[in-house]
Amino acid sequence: MHRRLATGLAASTLSLATVLAGAPAATAAPADKPQVLAGWTQTSASSYNAWVAARANQSAWSAYGFDWSTDYCSSSPDNPFGFPFATSCARHDFGYRNYKALGGFDANKSRLDSAFYEDLKRVCANYSGATKSACNSTAWTYYQAVKALG
């Protein structure tokens, strides 16, 4: 009886191994995924613009398996006092979510938060006078919040 059970288990194991060996391998993300992610999460305007272009054409990047989901500015207004911060918040979410998935969040959080602040200041550069000052103050508040709580 033990011999019959052992033979049956061995045959089942062999069958499973044969099925798994014949199954197509899961598609791995391209090897340059960390470099692409880093390129899209820098503090520069060119990094921001490259990310915005990629976000508009996500299907071209589907092999990378990036997480494009966002809740924008979380529980804070996406457009406080009429300042359009939503896209900056979306890029910040993109960096957080994708670095967490790659296991590199702690090493990159400070840069992601700095990139967020630079993005917000670029929004504020479109204003002048007291409106620009109010925008920059709001941007600073948002930055301090993600720096402390993000």
State the catalytic residues.
Answer: 92
Cα separation of 111 and 55, whole Å? 20
Residue written as tokens 């990139």?
115
How would you class 64 by CB atoms within 10 Å of its CB: exposed for 0-12, middle for 13-18, buried for 19 or more?
middle
